[in-house]
Structure 1
Amino acid sequence: MGIEKQGQNSEVQKLRDDNQQLSRENLRLQRAVEELGILNEIATAINSTLAVEKILDLITQRCVHHLGAEQGAVLLLEEQKAAKPFQTICRVGDTSHQRLPFRLDDQLTGWMLKHRAPLLINDLCTDQRFATGVGDLFPVRSLLCAPMVCKGRMTGLLVVFNKKTETGFSVDDQRLLAIIASESGQVIDNARLVEKENTLLLMQEEMRLAQEMQSNLLPKEPPRLPGYNIAGKSIPAKEVGGDYFDFLKLDGRRLAFCLGDVSGKGLPAALLMANLQAAIRGQALAGTSLTSCLERANSLLYRNTSPEKFATLFFGCLDTEGHVLHYCNAGHNHPFLIGKETEPLRLSAGGLALGCFESFPFEESQVQMKPGDQLVVFSDGISEAVNDRDEEFGEERVSDLAATNQDASAAELIEKILQDVGRHAAGRAQHDDMTLVVIKRLT
């Protein structure tokens, strides 16, 4: 009887052990199903967008919700910022501190960079590793932190704070956050690459528009005037700058022309160039004097552009009957008037660059153009082109080339100058537009 009862007790104990093991297995499977459900929910949400900020927000919101935390944050690793490598990109939660900035303590980020492993702290006050605290501006009692890794490289941290229940964060919570962080690293990295590619495509389109606008503003062919040979050319840099030149016949005997250089690069520079050209053309066609024209253009630029925007401009008007050149130079490189038997004359009269001050009194001057004289107007992309020793081409070389090539046509002289600049630069990349206008009196 005793033996039979002992056997029954043994079977009962075995059943209890089996039931307990089955319960533990069921609980483990249940947690696994829940984790898969959470991961699937996050994956589904992420697949609905390619925007990095939205992905970060979705991940953080789901982690805060499913782990029962008060707040969560994603900190991305900026490797070029050695002093403060982590930048808080996203922060969500249900407290009044949600919209405040947040920065993890250097001790914690240093620990994560060193160990690259999940970190669980349920009583921060007693954890001697982080005696100075963890975060700014709101109290942290407990936290979970996991590294986000992509292709063996840490890309950031996923962290949740303050478990809402008194039991604190569990090992299961830690495992779930680690899985989410591991999966998120690749997703976020891919999304950032897509954003970079989209940004690059946008920049390329902007550059194409700027180049097209710059090209459309330039004259298709030089004007033909009896007794004169005229040419102009602009070679844009790889990064579109703000050089432009223009010819405008005012009547049968007068030709207005200009060569300008606006500050900046890309589409903003091209737009500023277009506005300046429209202002100059409008004033010139209205019969406004050179000085009044520049004063109004200066006021327009000053009122309608940011303080760092300005433009240099050489503005001239040639009377082809009296052979008198009226000009006004607004802060531009001084052009050369080169005669066959005279020293080169630099045309400097004018004033400051346009857009620097609200008002400025410009000065007009005039010179006589004799047979054989040639006017050479150029941008700083010519004179400031450098070689591999950082030596500039210089303005004197422009003058010397014009003086030694007086039998060349205006177009031929431009090509000779550009070729000499190219030889001087010896293959170095062109970083600024190179623009030239040459007006030569024949008879």
Structure 2
Amino acid sequence: MSQPDDNSEVARLQKENQRLRRALEELSILNEIAVAINSALSLDRILESIVQKCTKHLQVEQVAVLLLDEQVEEKPFQTMIRGWDTRADTLPYRLDTQLTGWMLKNKAPLLINDFEKDNRFQTLPEKTPLIHSLLSVPLLSKNRMIGLIIVFNKKAESGFSKEDQRLLSIIASQSSQVIENARLLKEEQRLLKVQQELRLAYDIQTNLLPKESPKIKGYDISGKSIPAKEVGGDYFDFIPIDSHRIAFCLGDISGKGMPAALLMSNLQATVRGQSLVNATAAQCVECCNTMLFNNTPPEKFSTFFFGILDTKTQRMTYANAGHNFPFLFSTRQEPRQLEEGGIVLGVMETFPFKEQQIALEPGDIFVLYSDGITEAINKHEKEFGESGLISVIEKNMNASARELTNKIIEAVKEHTGDCIQYDDMTLVIIKREK
């Protein structure tokens, strides 16, 4: 064999040896990354592992992993993790939006070795001097883009190579499903926590409500609350004051879940405390207002109706803080809506709530309700309304308070059908027996 042929064969073998060595190194790198990300127990740890391995094996100054959050329209990509070898906490905003916009549109690798001269980013007012080269690849899961990996500033003067692009693309492909599974697990854990909090809030709310309606000679009383799909803040209570007086209330606290349940608990403690020290209706409402104002953020408030029934005088004294106006039904006249009242609780530190008084004659029915009754909507987005409430009551004037309560709730459910309701339905009915 001639000398040139020998040299050619040696060169070929050396080239093949280099290729095999690179392939072996690549497999070693990918195996190292696979072990790292699959052993990580959280999304943050997975992303940290990707950043560390990319920084080490691609020899770059900085790595960013951005995950796509489709629920955020204005800025769908959220930077989840940054490389440690950096002088900036975030990407320059306009570069961030242009780069992610290009990736969303093309869903393909992007390799730039001379950032200053790349015409895709010429609209930046001043090219950031910190970025000289970059390589970005999409994170794809089932052909859907879930994020991207970006590496900045290759330490080698030659910049990024096609081999770098290939390696980073394989890393992204290897990581995508692990990231997606971790995100799904994180979301499942979040939902589980929410469900646990809702169950606890429901238990708190249920335990705060009366287990049974009071038995008072000459009166038929009923109270009931039907929780909505989301645990809301409806609260009602009956509080005996002495042998001939009983306090009652109904409030609708803003918000849902645990915050509403805890606020409801505070409100109940205040109401009961005031009732037991013989406070008037107005004094009780004013005290509740001050408590809410001083102990809750500005966006928290509550409607609230508080009344005291005196079975000696057959009169009801009440104060209304922005709650739905109750109705008084009588066989002697048209239904009367008690339209007096003040502002909701918690928006002003002090407010002079006025007290009102009505007489209850035999056969009269006092109906207190939350907006979950009147604002319940059907598939045509039509509310049950006050007219629906009045109609049911007028058709059932001779029913007991409990029967009337159930009739109203049945009518509301018939009106709404399969439509999900997001407000509790709560009723307090006081009927003076004939």
Describe the SS at the equivalent of 2:95. coil
CA distance in structure 2 between the partners assigned to 1:114 and 1:320 by the alignment: 74
CA distance in structure 2 between the partners assigned to 1:288 and 1:83 by the alignment: 52
Deviation at 1:108, TM superposition (A): 4.3
1:155 aligns with 2:155: no
Q: Residues 21-420 of structure 1 correspond to what in structure 2 (within 5 A)?
A: 21-79=12-70, 85-98=76-89, 104=95, 108-132=99-123, 139-420=130-411
Amino acid at match of 1:20: A
Unaligned runs of 5+ in 2: none
Counterpart selection for 1:16 from 2, 7, 26 = 7
Distance 1:324 1:130, change over 3 A: closer
Deviates more, 1:346-355 or 1:265-274: 346-355
8 A Cα contact 1:134 1:140, kept in partner: no
CA distance in structure 1 between the partners assigned to 2:368 and 2:72 by the alignment: 46
Deviates more, 1:232-241 or 1:340-349: 340-349
CA distance in structure 2 between the partners assigned to 1:65 and 1:134 by the alignment: 32
Describe the SS at the equivalent of 1:72. strand
Computed over aligned residues only, the root mean square deviation of the Cα atoms, in angstroms, reads 2.3
Could you report, residue by residue, the CA deviation over 1:271-315 in whole angstroms, capped at 9, with x for unpaired residues? 111111111111111222221111111011011111111111111
Amino acid at match of 2:417: A
Distance 1:273 1:136, change over 3 A: farther
CA distance in structure 1 between the partners assigned to 2:386 and 2:48 by the alignment: 57
Distance 1:95 1:424, change over 3 A: closer
CA distance in structure 1 between the partners assigned to 2:206 and 2:92 by the alignment: 47
8 A Cα contact 2:374 2:386, kept in partner: yes
CA distance in structure 1 between the partners assigned to 2:326 and 2:378 by the alignment: 23
Q: How many residues align?
A: 434
8 A Cα contact 1:260 1:313, kept in partner: yes
Could you report, residue by residue, the CA deviation over 1:364-389 in whole angstroms, capped at 9, with x for unpaired residues? 11111111111111111111112333
Distance 1:408 1:106, change over 3 A: closer
Amino acid at match of 2:346: G
Amino acid at match of 1:252: S
CA distance in structure 2 between the partners assigned to 1:200 and 1:101 by the alignment: 34
Deviation at 1:81, TM superposition (A): 6.0
Describe the SS at the equivalent of 1:351. coil
CA distance in structure 2 between the partners assigned to 1:307 and 1:105 by the alignment: 35
CA distance in structure 1 between the partners assigned to 2:120 and 2:355 by the alignment: 75
Amino acid at match of 1:196: E
TM-score, normalising length: structure 1: 0.91
Deviation at 1:395, TM superposition (A): 1.7
CA distance in structure 2 between the partners assigned to 1:398 and 1:410 by the alignment: 14
CA distance in structure 2 between the partners assigned to 1:138 and 1:360 by the alignment: 60
Deviation at 1:337, TM superposition (A): 1.7
Distance 1:80 1:136, change over 3 A: farther
CA distance in structure 2 between the partners assigned to 1:135 and 1:54 by the alignment: 35
Deviation at 1:339, TM superposition (A): 1.9
CA distance in structure 1 between the partners assigned to 2:125 and 2:159 by the alignment: 17
Match of 1:428 in 2: 419
Distance 1:402 1:138, change over 3 A: farther
Deviation at 1:333, TM superposition (A): 0.9
CA distance in structure 2 between the partners assigned to 1:120 and 1:434 by the alignment: 59
CA distance in structure 2 between the partners assigned to 1:355 and 1:38 by the alignment: 60
Amino acid at match of 1:394: G
Deviation at 1:442, TM superposition (A): 1.2
8 A Cα contact 1:329 1:347, kept in partner: no
Task: Point out the structure with max Rg over C-alpha.
Answer: 1
8 A Cα contact 2:116 2:127, kept in partner: no
Unaligned runs of 5+ in 1: 1-6
8 A Cα contact 1:217 1:274, kept in partner: yes
CA distance in structure 2 between the partners assigned to 1:114 and 1:399 by the alignment: 58
